[in-house]
Structure 1
């Protein structure tokens, strides 16, 4: 299969008329509510890959069509959406980025023996451990992001002391900190000198800041495990208080859309699966960015679009190898994948883990309010399953 063909990049997402024997992909995703900001870009990327596959002859000699149902960022509605798509004849289901909001639809698919993919969930439960044997995610686990930040900052910024600031609102945040907590103490000469928690909608983290400032010296790094808008509020307050430590976070804060809330921000770093800024070292990534722009009229706002493209590519490869849409057969082929090539780097699955617990990440640093790719990093060892399950 060819990636990112010019013709496919400009195909309308609604696609042509389909025959009765076409393959149907069901999208149980948020088209409204706060999850829409994550689901729509990744779903758009998945549909771009569908168009490319169709333009290159289809899958198993058949064209792929898609149907979708709005989960409205609501768990109960997600369960209904999954059942609706099954009734509409879905052969495979794509569900919301977040485990909590995608799981109800994925559980419906799993009960039917149907493969499902979370668009960009980064919690291990969005797979075998939380849904069942036919559930996968197209993204890289949150603990990998935290571990990447720990090892990279130690190697490249001489980080020896760290402070962990955890937003306990969603499981994703906890995963980032889990990875940092696992990796950082394993590195030479390091110490976690403190930790604290807050909620994403807290108006103030003044007490947490006071505890950081009470330390004998500021920590080299602050591992901030949060998402927008809480992350932006926390960063703004930390800098306003005169804390200049290198701030680390996960991929959820990728993008420049929030930076007006933190004017001239510097010394802030995140790991991502690819750069949206035109400076990714892999030409294929920029080719995707342009294909996305040709399709919707704008470049991806964050790297969370990318896992949608990856999941559709991997699923289609597994279907071709299995020679069938049968969930068990396709799952078996997915679980054989080891360092399977994709536009955004190699991907692997096993019978124990339907996620990425080891991956190359691009390092994005914000300096004077401008993000850019400054490095790439692959952690020295995969995050173990027992750590992922904490």
Structure 2
């Protein structure tokens, strides 16, 4: 009887079908409606491109990556609900909105479950350890790094020695750009900030600020404009209309040509970006991505904000493979070991203190005669310190 039972068991074992590994589920709790959709959709599309590449190459840990999505509607309360929704659908990692304020509620849901979250393109230091917890990351480049890059590049390449800082108080991102510039520029040989001012993004006029700039003994070499659309375009138009010819610097948020009709024949406007959308990036991988994005959507990326979505999936997948699991703490440990980890858009690093980029190789885009083009690249000489990032 015992031998018969063993024989039957053996036959059952041979006859049992081999079960395929279950899909690995990534949840996207992002804005599919509201104003944040313009930022989230390109980055999410880029993330999907990398997921498709990984699946085509055999998947992750022998599992295909499946995506579930929920709409935050660009609403903080809905963000938390979206996080819960994708968890209910089996999410083992969560991708959240580009902006800290709108992505954090969903990321906090992920943190409560001990799973990793990645902000699509957030550039506020709080979008990570400082504002969410130890399993939260962003692959994008901090706003303060963008400001510091503009300071050091303008000093070295355009002989800038005097600067006027004009800060739009609309969102924390703008403050971050100015923080980085204000930290770096005065450290540079012979450089100084000769004045500063603020304005609101929806101000119809910045005439009083322009009056104060024109009252200076000499026009500043550069104006550090820390702003986003639509206020940035309005400010640039008014500065040039007033006859101010200083080189105008800004952050990555104003990358793209979509707004240039508002400032005809603009020249002398410079921004740092993670990669060029204009077909002139020196890295072949960047243009390969631009073409893949065009094939998927029918158009090239409108700005550099698609790129961090691709990078975040790439880095997370590498960490998962090295950890051999999707467990949040194990993946976090592998991510924190990454120092100058190669990606298509430049090296990325994380540490146990910072889950953001406090230095990065940036491509420099300058607008001349209304046409943007890559003119240089720059990596700041030292990382932005954590106390500066935290505004201490």
* TM-score (ref. length: structure 1): 0.95
Alignment map for 1:26-41 (pairs within 5 Å): 26-41=27-42
Alignment map for 1:65-144 (pairs within 5 Å): 65-144=66-145
| CA distance, structure 2, for counterparts of residue 64 and residue 359 of structure 1 | 29
Counterpart position of 1:196:
197
Aligned partner of residue 163 in structure 1, secondary structure? strand
Counterpart position of 2:214:
213
Contact 2:21 2:63 (8 Å CA) reproduced: no
| CA distance, structure 1, for counterparts of residue 70 and residue 56 of structure 2 | 25
Contact 2:275 2:345 (8 Å CA) reproduced: yes
| CA distance, structure 2, for counterparts of residue 99 and residue 143 of structure 1 | 15
| CA distance, structure 2, for counterparts of residue 213 and residue 147 of structure 1 | 25
Contact 2:121 2:140 (8 Å CA) reproduced: yes
| CA distance, structure 1, for counterparts of residue 69 and residue 21 of structure 2 | 17
For residues 170-203 of structure 1, what are the alpha-carbon distances to aligned partners after superposition, in whole Å with 9 as ceiling and x for unaligned?
Answer: 0000000000000000001011000000111111
Alignment map for 1:311-390 (pairs within 5 Å): 311-390=312-391
Alignment map for 1:215-234 (pairs within 5 Å): 215-234=216-235
Counterpart position of 1:7:
none
Which has the higher Rg, Structure 1 or Structure 2? 2
| CA distance, structure 2, for counterparts of residue 56 and residue 327 of structure 1 | 24
Deviation at 1:20, TM superposition (A): 7.8
Counterpart position of 1:156:
157
| CA distance, structure 1, for counterparts of residue 209 and residue 294 of structure 2 | 41
**Displaced runs of 4 or more, over 3 A:** none
Counterpart position of 2:240:
239
Deviation at 1:285, TM superposition (A): 0.4
Counterpart position of 1:303:
304
| CA distance, structure 1, for counterparts of residue 328 and residue 39 of structure 2 | 26
* TM-score (ref. length: structure 2): 0.94
| CA distance, structure 2, for counterparts of residue 237 and residue 192 of structure 1 | 21
| Cα RMSD after superposing both structures | 0.7
For residues 158-177 of structure 1, what are the alpha-carbon distances to aligned partners after superposition, in whole Å with 9 as ceiling and x for unaligned?
Answer: 10000000011100000000
Contact 2:98 2:119 (8 Å CA) reproduced: yes
For residues 322-341 of structure 1, what are the alpha-carbon distances to aligned partners after superposition, in whole Å with 9 as ceiling and x for unaligned?
Answer: 00110000000000111111
| CA distance, structure 1, for counterparts of residue 312 and residue 109 of structure 2 | 19
- Uncovered stretches (5+) of structure 1, i.e. residues with no partner: 1-18
- Uncovered stretches (5+) of structure 2, i.e. residues with no partner: 1-19
Contact 2:21 2:62 (8 Å CA) reproduced: no
State whether structure 2 residue 256 is matched by structure 1 residue 255: yes
For residues 214-234 of structure 1, what are the alpha-carbon distances to aligned partners after superposition, in whole Å with 9 as ceiling and x for unaligned?
Answer: 111111000000001010000
